[in-house]
């Protein structure tokens, strides 16, 4: 029955029909999601051991690659990245400033009397690590700051560049 305010029964019938279609689709989607979730869990159970085994292989090979790269620094003398047919290995050095007591360092910078102290301190009197990063280690030590350097190793698997492959096949086709 259409609401009393409605005089157009055809529109109301269309609305009810569309609501039925919507409700049916909603129910079927919910059932499909449950079915897909069950299939996903079965698939995970089937592949879990292989997945764990492959993760172990990746971890062990990563460690072995890092060890080989570390004991062969000559590989990285000219370039920071060593490319192989299976990917690349690279070393990147990063550093950060470790300030043991920020308040003491701020007082020491203020006492220096040079004009650069505005560059090393911000308005709310916190250290400007980006500016302090430019100082040498002796100056940092005088300010009770220690530069900590870390090195990380990155292993990247080779990927096929389809863009280049398509361009190459296009060039080969034009040459023929």
The residue length of the chain stands at: 176
Confidence at residue 162, expressed as pLDDT on a 0 to 100 scale:
58
Burial class (CB in 10 A: 0-12, 13-18, 19+), 153: middle
What are the pLDDT digits (tens) for 70-86?
A: 999 999 888 889 999 99
This model's pTM is above 0.75:
no
Confidence at residue 154, expressed as pLDDT on a 0 to 100 scale:
75
What is the C-alpha separation between 113 and 19, in angstroms, rounded? Answer: 78
Instruction: With a cut of 80, say whether residue 38 has pLDDT above it.
Output: yes
DSSP string, 103-148: HHHHHHHHHT--TTHHHHB-TTS-B-HHHHTTS-HHHHHHTTEEEE
What is the C-alpha separation between 170 and 162, in angstroms, rounded? Answer: 12
Instruction: With a cut of 70, say whether residue 161 has pLDDT above it.
Output: no
Instruction: With a cut of 80, say whether residue 3 has pLDDT above it.
Output: no
Burial class (CB in 10 A: 0-12, 13-18, 19+), 35: exposed
Instruction: With a cut of 90, say whether residue 171 has pLDDT above it.
Output: no
């Amino acid at each position: 029955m259409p609401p009393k305010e409605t005089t157009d029964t055809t529109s109301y019938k269309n609305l009810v029909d569309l609501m039925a279609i919507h409700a049916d689709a909603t129910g079927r989607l919910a059932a499909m999601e449950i079915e897909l979730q069950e299939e996903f869990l079965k698939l995970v159970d089937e592949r879990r051991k292989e997945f764990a085994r492959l993760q172990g292989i990746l971890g062990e090979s990563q460690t072995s690659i890092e060890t080989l790269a570390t004991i062969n620094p000559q590989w990285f003398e000219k370039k920071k990245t060593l490319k192989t047919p299976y990917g690349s290995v690279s070393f990147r050095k990063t550093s950060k400033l470790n300030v043991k007591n920020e308040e003491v360092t701020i007082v020491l910078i203020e006492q220096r009397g040079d004009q650069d102290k505005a560059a090393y301190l911000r308005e709310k009197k916190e250290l400007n690590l980006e500016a302090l990063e430019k100082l040498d280690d002796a100056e940092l030590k005088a300010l009770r700051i220690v530069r900590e350097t870390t090195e990380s190793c990155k292993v990247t698997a080779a990927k096929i560049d389809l863009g280049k492959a398509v361009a190459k096949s296009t060039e080969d086709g034009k040459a023929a």
